[in-house]
């Protein structure tokens, strides 16, 4: 179901979706009220929901849609204004699965290949996950390896994630198993930095995680890369500051890395770590996208490993694709520790799945267990 007050946008999005054999548009509406009234009849897997609409906006419609269909996948579509970014992040806390930044003009939407690619991939992945759950398959199945076939649905068929990290083979031999995955021992060195990478489902997971570990990170800096556009990352930093009770902001080029602070990669820039005259500093990189992402997790992980070696504790949370798996392999090869979120608690088990399957993790854990584990490791436990 496509819900947008612009007839041009509704038509364009519907055409893009219908051009995919595994997807079909079952309804389109110009406002939230019409969508709420029709959702039970149309029975969609996914709703693409605009933020600003007459009669009933997206944020008002969201809980009403979920009340009628509790397992409905809702993807918010909003332009890159601060207000809409705040609304989109609020929507995630109310049950939306994800968001997609929408170009401000109709002509921008028509010509934006990035918007089209991101929208269709999120529909495919999230709608496919819902279909698999209805068939009784594990929540993350099909994201670490492409299934042979899947039936046509009202929006989605699962897609495969990229191969696991090439650096896995260079790391130390696996010695144990966690959740059925080969694992490596935690570093014997107490962590001096925590780095976290995430994508789809990440804002919710990050907020929950930092609500748990906030009191434990006073003695180390924390770097976060979440796949997000500009404006959104600044607001995410504000949310993490509230959740953790620690200073948090977008990283600034050249600033010193200080213990007890959370640095969020700004949208549209890769955030790296480098050695400065008086300690480690943030470096922002405007180079090409990595793994189709900017910011990307791999460059951050690799730079942190160069600076801190075996004193790195890294976490790969829910997200599409395989970003973070290669960087996690570099961290593991350098003696650092890697934790990946398990498939059952992930919105999309792409990034953590690729990392877990590469065999470089010290643990593969449910989201609720990652915070307590981080706290134990920071205190010298395992």
98 flagged as catalytic: no
Three-state SS at 230: coil
Spell 171-184 as b/e; 16+ CB within 10 A means b.
Answer: beeeeeebeebbbb
Closest C-alpha to 263, from 279, 251, 281, 245: 251
Q: Who contacts 29 (Cβ-Cβ below 8 Å, separation ≥6)?
A: 1, 2, 3, 10, 35, 38
Q: For the chain, state the CA radius of gyration.
A: 20
143 flagged as catalytic: no
62 close to 94: Cβ distance less than 8 angstroms: yes
Q: 78: which 2 tokens?
A: 């909003």
127 close to 46: Cβ distance less than 8 angstroms: yes
Q: How far apart are CA 379 and CA 382, in angstroms?
A: 9
261 close to 251: Cβ distance less than 8 angstroms: no
Q: Which of 118, 323, 342, 363 is catalytic?
A: 323
Closest C-alpha to 225, from 328, 119, 142: 328
User: Strand 279-285 and strand 193-198: pairing?
Assistant: unpaired
270 flagged as catalytic: no
Q: 329: which 2 tokens?
A: 């392999």
Q: How far apart are CA 301 and CA 314, in angstroms?
A: 8
Q: How far apart are CA 235 and CA 376, in angstroms?
A: 29
**Neighbouring-strand partners of residue 48:** 2, 75
Q: 37: which 2 tokens?
A: 């009234």
Q: 39: which 2 tokens?
A: 């959702």
Give residue 95's region: left, alpha or beta (phi > 0; psi -120 to 50): left
Q: Which of 199, 303, 305, 346 is catalytic?
A: 199
Closest C-alpha to 304, from 277, 343, 265, 266: 265
Q: Which of 143, 227, 239, 270 is catalytic?
A: 227
213 close to 244: Cβ distance less than 8 angstroms: yes
Tracing tokens 């021992």 back to the chain, one arrives at 185
User: Which residues are catalytic, by number?
Assistant: 199, 227, 323
């Amino acid at each position: 179901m496509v819900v947008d007050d612009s007839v041009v946008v509704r038509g364009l999005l519907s055409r893009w979706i219908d051009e995919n054999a595994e997807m079909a548009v079952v309804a389109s509406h110009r406002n939230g009220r019409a969508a709420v009234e029709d959702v039970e009849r149309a029975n969609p897997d996914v709703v693409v929901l605009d933020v600003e609409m007459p009669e009933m906006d997206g944020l008002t419609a969201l809980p009403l849609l979920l009340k009628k269909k509790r397992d409905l996948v809702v993807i918010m579509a909003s332009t890159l204004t601060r207000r809409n970014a705040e609304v989109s992040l609020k929507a995630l806390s109310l049950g939306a699965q994800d968001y997609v930044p929408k170009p401000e003009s109709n002509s921008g939407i028509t010509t934006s290949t990035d918007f089209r690619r991101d929208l269709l991939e999120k529909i495919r992945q999230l709608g496919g996950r819902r279909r698999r759950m209805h068939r009784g398959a594990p929540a993350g199945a099909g994201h670490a390896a492409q299934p042979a076939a899947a039936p046509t649905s009202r929006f989605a068929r699962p897609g495969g994630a990229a191969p696991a990290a090439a650096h896995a083979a260079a790391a130390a031999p696996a010695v144990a198993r966690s959740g059925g995955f080969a694992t490596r021992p935690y570093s014997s060195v107490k962590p001096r930095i925590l780095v976290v990478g995430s994508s789809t489902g990440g804002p919710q997971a990050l907020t929950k995680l930092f609500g748990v570990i906030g009191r434990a990170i006073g003695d180390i800096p924390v770097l976060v890369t979440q796949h997000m556009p500009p404006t959104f990352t600044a607001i995410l930093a504000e949310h993490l500051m509230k959740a953790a009770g620690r200073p948090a902001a977008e990283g600034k080029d050249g600033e010193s890395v200080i213990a007890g602070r959370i640095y969020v990669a700004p949208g549209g820039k890769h955030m790296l770590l480098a050695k400065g005259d008086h300690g480690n500093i943030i470096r922002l990189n405007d180079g090409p996208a990595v793994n189709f992402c900017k910011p990307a997790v791999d460059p951050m992980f690799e730079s942190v490993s160069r600076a801190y070696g075996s004193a790195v504790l890294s976490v790969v949370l829910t997200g599409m694709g395989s970003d973070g798996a290669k960087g996690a392999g570099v961290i593991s090869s350098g003696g650092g520790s890697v934790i990946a979120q398990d498939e059952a608690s992930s919105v999309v088990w792409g990034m953590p799945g690729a990392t877990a399957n590469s065999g470089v993790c010290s643990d593969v854990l449910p989201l609720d267990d990652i915070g307590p584990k981080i706290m134990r490791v920071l205190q010298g436990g395992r």
